[in-house]
């Protein structure tokens, strides 16, 4: 299973949780929210360091495409992803 980490330093925790819920609807896709490691608190930064998305190699093409669409949607709505 390949895992990729996406992050946006300004994306709110609630949006990460919503994204995780959407991705977990795809059979076989698993996600982990990565805790923030910054030692100081900044209201302008996310409370989450990123999201790790694991996609099994057996996932069909339609589900893979849907996964990419979901990630693209959230990225476009919130200023893009850094990988």
Note the pLDDT tens digit of each residue in 6-46: 999 889 999 999 999 999 999 999 999 999 887 787 777 78
Cα–Cα distance for residue pair 83/80, rounded to 1 Å: 10
64 found inside a domain: yes
Is the per-residue pLDDT at 83 higher than 90?
Answer: no
Residue 31 pairs in a beta bridge with: 53
Containing structural domain, residue 13: 2-77
How many folded domains does the chain comprise? 1
pTM: 0.89
In-domain check, residue 48: yes
CB 33 within 8 A of CB 53: no
Residue 22 lies in a domain: yes
Tokens at 42, concatenated: 């900044």
CATH number at residue 62: 3.30.70.60
């Amino acid at each position: 299973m390949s895992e990729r980490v996406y992050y946006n330093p300004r994306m709110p925790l609630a949006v990460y949780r919503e994204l995780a819920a959407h991705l977990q609807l795809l059979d076989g896709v698993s996600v982990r929210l990565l805790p923030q490691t910054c030692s100081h608190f900044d209201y302008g930064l996310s409370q989450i360091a990123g999201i790790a998305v694991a996609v099994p190699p057996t996932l069909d093409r339609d589900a893979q495409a849907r996964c990419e669409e979901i990630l693209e949607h959230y990225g476009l709505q919130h200023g893009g992803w850094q990988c």
